């Protein structure tokens, strides 16, 4: 399946958002996820099924003004 993850194209076998995070070694309570510009709650990642062409954002706390 072709996915855009944080702006980069990936070819990944993951079928759920949780599987994608694990495949890319994203781990931690400080991560936030969105698919196609909508928030996907932490609790829903395991059941959230990805589709070909989905745009995924994985964000972390960062300095800000």
Partner 1 sequence: MFDLLGAALPSRLLLGTAQYPSPAILADAVKTSGASVVTVSLRREMAGGWGGEKFWSLVNSLGVRILPNTAGCHSVKEAVTTAKMAREVFGTSWIKLEVIGNHDTLQPDVFGLVEAACILCEDGFTVFPYTTDDLVVAERLLGAGCKVLMPWCAPIGSALGPVNIMALRSMRGHFPDVPLIVDAGLGRPSHAATVMELGFDAVLLNTAVAKAADPVGMARAFGKAVEAGREAYSSGMLEPRDMAIPSTPVIGMAAFR
Region near partner 1 per CB under 8 A, out of 14-22, 45-53, 54-62: 54-62
Cβ atoms of 48 and 16 closer than 8 Å: yes
**Residue 9 binding partner 1, by CB under 8 A:** no
**Residue 54 binding partner 1, by CB under 8 A:** no
How would you class 29 by CB atoms within 10 Å of its CB: exposed for 0-12, middle for 13-18, buried for 19 or more? exposed
Tell me how far, at minimum, the Cβ of 41 lies from partner 1, in Å.
6
The tokens describing 56, both together, are 């995924």
Nearer to partner 1, 11 or 28 (CB): 28
């Amino acid at each position: 399946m072709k996915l855009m993850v944080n702006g980069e194209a990936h070819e990944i076998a993951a079928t759920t958002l949780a599987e994608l995070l694990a495949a890319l070694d994203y781990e931690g309570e400080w991560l936030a996820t969105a698919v196609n510009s909508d928030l996907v709650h932490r609790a829903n990642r395991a059941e959230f099924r990805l589709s070909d062409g989905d745009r995924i954002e994985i964000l972390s706390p960062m300095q800000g003004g």
